[in-house]
Amino acid sequence: MIHPTRTNLLLLKEKSRSVTNSAAILKARRQALIREFLAVSMPFLRSREEVKTLYGKALAELHLSLGHEGETFLGSLLAVSGRELGVEIAERSVMGLRYRDVAMLESPVRSPAERGYDYRTTTPHLEEAIYLFESIVAAMLEIAAFESRLKRLGDEIVRVTRRVRVLEERVLPQLSRGIRSIAQYIGEREREAYYRLKRYKEKQGTG
């Protein structure tokens, strides 16, 4: 229970102003986070659409290649053209938030001469299918980086929104009630003191 004194009234008003300022700062940060979230989400959505388009084209080219070259031939190419793709997980920061970024040590997309077999013996359908699938790998790694940033931004937006709600829906109303209660109490005490003083002066005058 806060004692209804002028000192406590001033303290509550100061705290209310501080909380209001904090809520305003948090709202500004939330707006900045939302802008960053939207800026990141647009290329993320485009990348997902690109992967869907590339995948459809890659499957079509692979189907044509299977019709010309057969599964056995394609399986033999896998033994000589397969490789481990190196990636690096790096710590990044956006709007003061740390997230993990996926960085490629080398491009997944290779030229036909870099694939370990004589591309002159294959059909254009196979070469196009390989190119498209390698492009899909590159796009998916890029999407992984976008997803990490979006998750961190989304989590922070939710966290800041919750803090704003607590301040505006709980803390500030509680402070406002305390301010009104103390102000009302002090006002009543001052009116009582005024009437007592007035009656005292009236008595002194009649005496």
How many separate domains does the chain show?
A: 1
CATH label of the domain that carries residue 58: 1.10.287.3240
**1 assigned to some structural domain:** no
Q: Where is pLDDT greater, at 16 or 148?
A: 16
Domain presence at residue 136: yes
User: Considering the domain boundaries, does residue 107 fall inside one?
Assistant: yes
Tokens 């009437």 sit on residue: 195
Residue 153 belongs to some domain of the structure: yes
Domain of residue 49 covers: 6-206
Assess if residue 181 is contained within a domain.
yes
Tens-digit pLDDT profile for residues 177-193? 999 999 998 888 888 88
141 is a domain residue: yes
Q: Let me know: does 134 contact 127? Beta carbons within 8 Å.
A: no
Note whether residue 28 is domain-resident: yes
The pTM of the full predicted model, rounded to 2 decimals, is 0.66
Asked if residue 146 belongs to a domain, the reply is: yes
DSSP, residue by residue, the chain: -----HHHHHHHHHHHHHHHHHHHHHHHHHHHHHHHHHHHHHHHHHHHHHHHHHHHHHHHHHHHHHHHHHHHHHHHHHHHH--PPPEEEEEEEETTEEEEEEEESS-S---GGGSSS-GGGS-HHHHHHHHHHHHHHHHHHHHHHHHHHHHHHHHHHHHHHHHHHHIIIIIHHHHHHHHHHHHHHHHHHHHHHHHHHHHHHHHHHH-
More confident residue, 32 or 42: 32
CA distance 89 to 98: 13
